[in-house]
């Protein structure tokens, strides 16, 4: 018998059609696709988490550096005001002034020093607050679930 006759004589259930083999492969491919998708989502979620943490730390560092620069500038102004006050007091003492601390010029410099010190204290508090900041603790998997709910 030829191959055709053998095929014709075989019961239909024994013959594997392309459709049947395709149907058997489809669940396996679908399963592989799901695993690949899940793995990709985990990798992407981890990447987003690391990226978020890195950008948070970079922004935090940038803020700290700017505050430290501002603080340094204020301390320079305070030192200049102290020098001005010292020079003024010395000049007034040499001129024979009495009751130097009650003079308007001295009071103005002392007031300016107090304002600068208060501003420096505010900046120091802001620096401590920035250092204490923590990145948001939302897990990457929770983020994707929240995004799915919003869509």
Rounded to an integer, the average pLDDT of 38-51 is 90
Residue 74 has pLDDT above 90, yes or no: yes
Handedness of CA 66, 67, 68, 69 (dihedral sign): positive
Higher pLDDT, residue 4 or 44: 44
Rounded to an integer, the average pLDDT of 47-76 is 93
| Residue position matching structure tokens 């130097």 | 100
Rounded to an integer, the average pLDDT of 39-66 is 92
Residue 10 has pLDDT above 90, yes or no: no
pLDDT at position 27? 74
As separate numbers, helices (DSSP H) first and strands (DSSP E) second, the chain gives 4, 0
pLDDT band at 31 (very low <50, low <70, confident <90, very high): confident
**The pair of three-digit structure tokens given for residue 143, joined into one six-digit string:** 């983020």
Rounded to an integer, the average pLDDT of 68-80 is 96
């Amino acid at each position: 018998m030829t191959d055709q006759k053998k095929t014709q004589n075989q019961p239909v259930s024994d013959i594997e059609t392309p459709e049947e083999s395709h149907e058997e492969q489809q669940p396996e491919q679908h399963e592989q696709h799901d695993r690949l998708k899940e793995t990709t989502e985990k990798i992407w979620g981890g990447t987003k988490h690391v990226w978020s943490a890195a950008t948070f730390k970079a922004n935090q560092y940038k803020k700290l550096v700017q505050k430290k620069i501002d603080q340094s500038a204020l301390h320079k102004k305070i030192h200049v005001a102290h020098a001005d006050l010292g020079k003024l007091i010395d000049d007034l003492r040499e001129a024979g002034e009495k009751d130097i601390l009650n003079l308007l010029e001295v009071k103005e410099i002392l007031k300016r020093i107090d304002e600068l010190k208060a501003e420096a204290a505010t900046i120091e508090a802001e620096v401590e607050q920035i250092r204490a900041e923590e990145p948001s603790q939302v897990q990457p998997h929770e983020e994707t679930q929240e995004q799915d709910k919003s869509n």
